[in-house]
Structure 1
Amino acid sequence: MVKTFQTINLEITDRLATLTLNRPKAMNAMDAQMMSELADCFESLLSNREVQVLVIKGEGRAFSAGGDIKMMLQSGGEVADFTSLMNEIARLVLAFYQLPMITVAGIHGAAAGLGLSLALANDIVIAEESSKVAMNFIGIGLVPDGGGHFFMKERLGVPKAKQVIWQGKVMSGQEAYELGLIDQVVPEGNVDSAISQFVQKLLSSPISAMIETKQIYHGQKLQELKDTLKLEESAQLRMRQTEDHLEGIQAFVEKRKPEFKGR
């Protein structure tokens, strides 16, 4: 079965679902429509007891370049628009975190910002050596959203997560693997075959027991994730009103190095 949205594709074959981010011309940057469709898709899968593995990947040259900068410019700081976007982000993240299936992300090209938050939310993250992995909100004077603080902490612990978020540097897939941010690194062009092998291994395992373990852990952490999403929303609203954010966006558009002043 193939369910087609406008910005994502969902294909279900027996116990395997494959979700493809499908805005290749924009490097799968997430606009309001993609956020809403992802949330709808994940919520529809919450009650699906047939699918046991969900794979997420990106069409074209990248997994996802993050939130759509053009969308940020168009919203112009309107609080109503911002709140609506953050609600959709929270909806998709919370539904995804509670999915009763094993989730696997396959990264090639860029996985940045909100795109990286989504990738790190997966149970298993497999990336090509040459991938560009970045929690780079700091570059435009913002904090991570999409549960980025939560998922970074889960994988790295608080001290290292803070440092990676503050630096906002672009890492290769190999560097992200060595840091412990992702679970497996493969040569360029091999992520699809690596995922296929991994999925076959999962589907020939006692996967129902694996899903139970996931739900025990995630059930204990769900309230913390909800709290983190609320804190990210309030922090992001404050940061969007700073001079540094406006300078970061302007510098991005003008393709120059930003001059931040801590205001």
Structure 2
Amino acid sequence: MYSTIELKKEGRLARLKLNRPAAMNAMDDVMMKELADAFEALKSDTETQVLIIQGEGKVFSAGGDIKKMVDPESPMDIGKVMVDVSRLAKGLYELPQITIAAIHGASAGLGFSMALGCDVILAEENSKLAMNFIGIGLVPDGAGHFFLKERIGVPQAKQLIWAGEVMNTQTALAKGLVDQVIPDGAVGQASEALAQKFLGAPIAAMLASKKILHAQKMSELENVLRMESEQQVAMRQTEDHMEGIKAFVEKRKPEFKGK
């Protein structure tokens, strides 16, 4: 059914795996669409109550596929891509399941935005986390602004977005960006154990609380997604973005000019 992700259901538990290990689970236009489709399908799934999201291979997700962005053969259509990115973020936030992000290796850019949209975030000790859009002259998307603000508030969100630094898990834990740090190699086991704990609890009441809290925020989320889409399209036209991409491909430090 899907070519870049796997979705498996077992009773009341579902597991969604990002499955482009050769590309470090970087999200191309196909994966973004498939994730959006999967979340929208899960919205009407009344049997599944917990969803674990994880990555195949060495990392959770390296974020948006930068190489695909600059591929002269088949460049991604940014306008179309942003529609799917918005569907993905909204679909994730509206899920009637408890969502657990099980991070190992690295979670960056759009991959980090998606993890931040989950209800509980587990990260292995040596994981690297980054909201690093600024490095290529872009703004966070996938509701990165919204999810960061929800977790750490506006002043901290701005500073984190502007810095674009790669964080270790202890820094992320101290900031409230992850909920638990797990020993390396054990996040799969830890996420399964947590899922079973939720399934053994009065989960209908827990999901009702999630619905109440999230419903109040839907109009704000939709507004953020609209603005992120507009600004991302605009930022893609800037000289700084072109320089950021060029520097990334050439593996050198970019020279930004504020244009």
TM over 0.5: yes
Which residue among 57, 69, 73 is the counterpart of 2:70? 73
Query: How many corresponding residue pairs?
Result: 259
- Equivalent in the alignment of 1:156: 152
Q: What amino acid does structure 2 have at the position aligned with 1:171?
A: M
Q: Does 1:105 align with 2:101?
A: yes
3-state SS of the aligned residue for 2:129? strand
1:201 Cα offset (Å): 0.8
3-state SS of the aligned residue for 2:70? helix
Q: What amino acid does structure 1 have at the position aligned with 2:125?
A: E
1:75 Cα offset (Å): 7.0
Q: Does 1:208 align with 2:204?
A: yes
Q: Does 1:170 align with 2:171?
A: no
Unaligned runs of 5+ in 1: none
Q: Does 1:33 align with 2:30?
A: yes
- Equivalent in the alignment of 1:189: 185
> Does the CA contact (< 8 Å) of 1:75 and 1:82 recur in 2?
no
Q: What amino acid does structure 2 have at the position aligned with 1:63?
A: F
Unaligned runs of 5+ in 2: none
Q: What amino acid does structure 1 have at the position aligned with 2:118?
A: N
What TM-score does the superposition give when structure 1 sets the normalisation length? 0.96
Q: What amino acid does structure 2 have at the position aligned with 1:223?
A: S
Distance 2:141 2:71 in 1: 19
1:95 Cα offset (Å): 1.3
Taking only the aligned residue pairs, the percentage that are identical comes to: 59
Distance 2:72 2:7 in 1: 29
Q: Residue by residue, what CA displacement relative to the aligned partner does 1:202-230 show, whole Å, maximum 9, x if unpaired?
A: 01000000000000011000111000000
- Equivalent in the alignment of 1:18: 15
3-state SS of the aligned residue for 1:163? helix
Runs of 4+ in structure 1 off by over 2 angstroms are none
Q: What amino acid does structure 1 have at the position aligned with 2:49?
A: Q
Which residue among 221, 232, 251 is the counterpart of 2:247? 251
3-state SS of the aligned residue for 1:125? strand
1:74 Cα offset (Å): 2.7
Which residue among 198, 223, 228 is the counterpart of 1:227? 223
Q: CA RMSD in A?
A: 1.4
- Equivalent in the alignment of 1:179: 175
3-state SS of the aligned residue for 1:205? coil
Distance 1:55 1:31 in 2: 21
